[in-house]
Amino acid sequence: MHAEANIRLFQKGGKLMSVSVSMPIWTKQTDHCSIGISLPMLGIETVAKNEEDTDKAIEEAIAAFCVVADKFGQGIVKELQSLGWINVDGKSGEPILGYNISDTDAFLERLIQTGSNYANPNIEVNLDPQLA
């Protein structure tokens, strides 16, 4: 198995502050002149109003996923694990999860390779509604 995507969680005092993400995404022009964005490894679909808005829409969708996982789910790590992510490193002090595909799953591996690679080293996550 090998990692196709990864998420690093940066915490302070046990509270998630930001995430670093690298994963394939898919975009397509919609009938309404907006851009549909799919992040299947997180189970997220979102929309951007134009090409310039795409990165911000992805960043906001990932941050919202983290907030919902923390406030209404079982926590970000458990929610990611339920989607197929696994712990790949804990030595650095921050949890790092990777999305792994079995070498025997050639179809899924080819499908993943058709996506565009999205990478963002610092998506801030605001878990404190007082700061919003």
Tell me the per-residue pLDDT of 14-51, one tens digit each, with 9 for 90 and over. 788 999 999 989 999 888 889 999 998 899 999 999 98
pTM: predicted TM-score of the whole model, two decimal places: 0.84
Domain residue limits at 30: 2-121
In a domain, 130, yes or no: no
What digits encode the pLDDT tens for the residues 60-106?
999 999 999 988 989 999 999 999 899 887 666 778 998 866 655 67
In a domain, 80, yes or no: yes
Number of domains the chain is built from: 1
Q: Which are the contacts of 87, defined by CB distance < 8 A and separation ≥ 6?
A: 77, 81, 95, 96, 97
In a domain, 37, yes or no: yes
Please indicate, yes or no, if residue 128 is contained in any of the structural domains. Answer: no
Please tell me the predicted confidence (pLDDT) of residue 115. Answer: 77
91 within a domain of the structure (yes/no): yes
Q: Report helix, strand or coil for 40.
A: coil
